Amino acid sequence: MEKITIFSDNKTCCYLSNISNMIYGFCNEDIEYVKNTSGSRCKNVDEIYDWIYMGAKELGMDEVIDISDYNKLNIPVYTVKKNGALYHTNYGKGITISQAKISALMEFIERMSAEKSGTTNIWGTYDELTKKVPYEIVNPSNMITLYTNYVSETLRINWIPVFNISKMAIAFLPTIGVLFPYYEDEEILFNNNTNGIAAGSNFHEAIIQGAYEVIERDIISIGLATGKYKNVKKESISDETINEILAEFSKQNIDVSVKYIVNEFDIPCFIACCNDEYAKGIYGGYGCHTSKTVALVRALTELAQSIKSLSYSGDEIQLIKRESTIKETIWNVVKEEIGFDEINSTVFSDMNEETEYIINLLLEKNMHIYVANLTAYDTSASVPVVRVIIPGMENWYDTRNRIGRRLYNEMQKC
């Protein structure tokens, strides 16, 4: 069968060029940590704010809005808006104003960069591409689709080049797993989402952040579906930052419950939920990181963001969805307790070591990490944006009829 000449497609060549830029940046960028409770960072937020703000403006941002005062909870939350854009009311949280602003700006940049990227001219079924393209072709059925393996492998879909950082090699992956929003395929493999789209001050930051998000969604999905979580004894928490955040909730008479999700990766992953009598709803926030402190800070600040963003937007449908999920699986269930000091936590000397740890951890489970470079190089800021895809990871939390083999096996044990 005749080979596809992928280098004759300008869009494919552009993606391949972006991969080269990403690899070059990855090999030459700063990998030393700065002290930060919001995640793995190599730059302080105040160092990069002007650059990130310019990047958001170039991508169409209209304004940054402080919504911290939408209730009395003294935890900063900001939103970034682009007027008339369906997908671009983005939120950010943090323990400082600068962190919250950067978080919102980064999310906006992520969404806009993913939307600007377009399809390639490479169309075909999985079986066709494996015969025509001399690179690794990721089997759609490994991405947990809405169909049987046979149907997934015989649908005609668009394909996009990505980089397998577990093997350090080019691969091709269904475009629906990379771009957002995406509607080009006649039959969709699964509902499109933003899981794994991440921005950073460099590619290490972005890739690490994207990987944690995909892993978090997987752990949350299995944890909520199977009930494998424990109540964290709040009195066992000695970290000053975490206790200050918990004290702020307590000061506003908001009862916070913290759950630790038991998982096969032994990565700290938490759900922080509360019953807010003033907002008349149950809210939740999630956090996942090899540092248990970072993971729980993320969960607690996301909880604050959930409360304030829903108060700001009045999105009752989203509240009902999240409230029903948490109420039926978390809030009303009594669980075994665990001390915060009993939960493992891993620290690294630099970002290379952290990246290698995540890669090797997933390789032990026969999972590979694929990365697409979605950076908007047509802007002067060119803030690094990637999409991290890990085939085999579950996404049941977002789409209840997407159940992969790992989740199915765990549910059979319940």
The pLDDT of residue 316 is 44
The pLDDT of residue 287 is 97
Domain borders along the chain are 226-342
The pLDDT of residue 398 is 84
**Residues 279, 230: contact at Cβ < 8 Å?**
no
Q: What is the CATH code for 226-342? A: 3.30.160.660
Q: Is the pLDDT of residue 189 over 80?
A: yes
The pLDDT of residue 317 is 38
User: pLDDT grade, residue 397 (50/70/90)?
Assistant: confident
The pLDDT of residue 276 is 66
| Mean predicted lDDT score pLDDT of the chain | 90
Angle (deg, nearest 10), helices 45-58 and 97-116:
40
Which residue do the tokens 């809005």 mark? 65
For 102-153, what is each residue's pLDDT tens digit? Answer: 999 999 999 999 998 889 999 999 999 999 888 999 999 999 998 889 899 9
The pLDDT of residue 325 is 55
Higher pLDDT, 144 or 72: 144
For 42-61, what is each residue's pLDDT tens digit? Answer: 999 999 999 999 999 999 99
Query: What mean pLDDT is predicted for residues 13-35?
Result: 92
Q: Is the pLDDT of residue 353 over 70?
A: yes
Higher pLDDT, 312 or 257: 257
The pLDDT of residue 319 is 45
Q: Please tell me the distance from the alpha carbon of residue 326 to that of residue 323, in angstroms, as a whole number.
A: 5
The pLDDT of residue 132 is 86
Higher pLDDT, 227 or 298: 298
Query: What mean pLDDT is predicted for residues 283-312?
Result: 92
356 contacts: CB under 8 Å, gap ≥ 6: none
Between the CA of residue 310 and those of 187, 225, 252, what are the distances in Å?
33, 25, 17
Query: What mean pLDDT is predicted for residues 23-51?
Result: 90
Query: What mean pLDDT is predicted for residues 384-412?
Result: 94
CA 202, 398, 229: angle at the middle one, nearest 5?
90
**How far is C-alpha 126 from the chain's CA centre?**
26
The pLDDT of residue 383 is 98
Q: Which two tokens mark 88?
A: 């671009």
User: pLDDT grade, residue 85 (50/70/90)?
Assistant: low
User: pLDDT grade, residue 1 (50/70/90)?
Assistant: very low
Percent of the chain whose pLDDT exceeds 70? 89
Q: Which two tokens mark 233?
A: 């004894």
Q: Which two tokens mark 236?
A: 């066992």
